[in-house]
Chains A and B, each alone.
Chain A
Amino acid sequence: MSHLLIENKELIKIFYGLIIAVICIFIVYRSDKLFRISMHKGIRYFRNAFLFYGLAFIIRYLFGAMIFYNYLSQFYSPVINILFEFFLVMAGFFLLYSLLWKKIETTEENYYTSLFNSKIAIFYFMSLMIVLLDYLWGTHGFMFVSQIILFAVISIVSYINYIKKGGRHRFLKFYLIAMLFSFAAWVMNFITAVYLNWNQALLINVYILNMLIFLLFLWGVVKVTKK
């Protein structure tokens, strides 16, 4: 079975990227609708997180496939990698910020756009630094380490939110589980890349775990926005 999967890994990657991109588009659409009505900043940052995840997966897997099947020149390969990393790191920052914005911003602070303002500029700067360092060192190490730290922090914040509600909030428990899965996925991805020379069989498990995380979010958004 794993032999068959490895043989068709490019097709699987396209399928994987496509599914995650569709999930992200759906989440962005639903959360944007709620944001437009409520003008709630938390919803706005949550929407932005999935907007960036969507962009990252579309760029990495669909354009990546175009290069693999020679529809696009190899020349674009580093550009795609840089953009993929950048959007992925930005998405992680937005997800964290959606949980912490209340402690950082006041409700009176109104920015014309949540995609670029003085506070978000820090994320852009940090993401650019991570991408630049990875590019110069020819590695993905800085991205892996940053995401492992980021999801460890998000898991802690999610745990605090869950405990604050008396440890009985079923949905916050799912959110915490999704964040712990994300943390585990990044650790697995790091180990696979750095110590196991991108072992394809293990990488497929990372893909499955990632897919599960996005499906959990999809389920959550569908359930919550159902009237």
Chain B
Amino acid sequence: MAKKRERLDVIKDILNSVRENRQIKPTRLLYASNLSPQMFKDYINELISKGFIKLEVDDKEKKTFSLTKKGFEFLQEYKVIERFVENFGL
């Protein structure tokens, strides 16, 4: 059985998907994140509220997600953050 992804891994995977696509539609990101719709919604709301991603709506009402500066920083420091949390049992 595949190991359950830790919360930080899920965040990293979502942010990586957004980064790789520069701008990504919600449905595509849902598939890429491999989460249930409810879980996806929870994570996305959290990432928006923490300022890691931003939601943009164009003239035709099309929604896309893009990475913020903070989101880029998170991905760069991800390994350090992961190590810190794991090693100090946080």
Contacts and interface: CB of A to CB of B under 8 A. Distances in A.
Given A161-B89, A175-B87, A175-B88, A39 B81 contact: no
Contacts of B50: 39
Contacts of B42: 108
A224 B90 contact: no
Say which size band chain B's interface belongs to. Answer: 20 to 34
Contact of A175 (B7, B70, B77, B89): B89
A186 B18 CA distance: 49
Interface string A161-179: 1000000010110010000
A192 interface: no
Interface string A203-227: 0000000000000000010001101
Interface stretch (A12-20, A30-38, A77-85, A141-149): A30-38
20 contacts: A34-B77, A37-B74, A39-B50, A40-B8, A40-B90, A43-B90, A46-B90, A99-B90, A108-B42, A110-B49, A161-B89, A171-B86, A172-B87, A175-B87, A220-B87, A220-B88, A224-B80, A224-B83, A224-B88, A225-B84
